[in-house]
Amino acid sequence: MGVRVRVRILIKDRSVEAHALANSGFETERPQLLVPYAFLVRNNINLEDLGKPDISEYDTAGGPIVMYIYHGACKVTVIEHDRISRDVEADLVLSPVEKEILMSDALIEELGIVLISPRSGLWRFIDDPPEAIRRSYSPQYW
């Protein structure tokens, strides 16, 4: 199943709510949010508004792939029924092949997400009481 949380993504003046997969294997130095190209198209987000991207090769399970990185181009917030996390500035990584939104390990940590049972989709915020258990949202494909 994986751990998926509901997030609000702010890109320029556009705010979009979506489910994002907490992917601890997506290791980065800075918080990064990887989005499928279709996510931008469906939400009418113009790449020209984001400035010039850096181009970087990422190692994936399917082999290396080139992706575009827009540094500091978004803010990410976790939205739960009982609380909202702080906003975290993140790099926006554009994937030509991924179908889900992925949060890097650095973004997961900055948002205060603790993975309890990734296979079962259980998690909590770092400052939740130990008995608090939150459940994953369903996958959202773009």
The pTM of this model reads 0.93
Structural domain count, the chain:
1
Encoded tokens for 74: 């978004």
Assess if residue 38 is contained within a domain: yes
Assess if residue 142 is contained within a domain: no
Domain range enclosing 23: 4-135
Q: What is the pLDDT of residue 45?
A: 92
Q: What is the pLDDT of residue 67?
A: 92
pLDDT under 50: residue ranges of the chain:
none
CATH code of 121's domain: 2.40.70.10
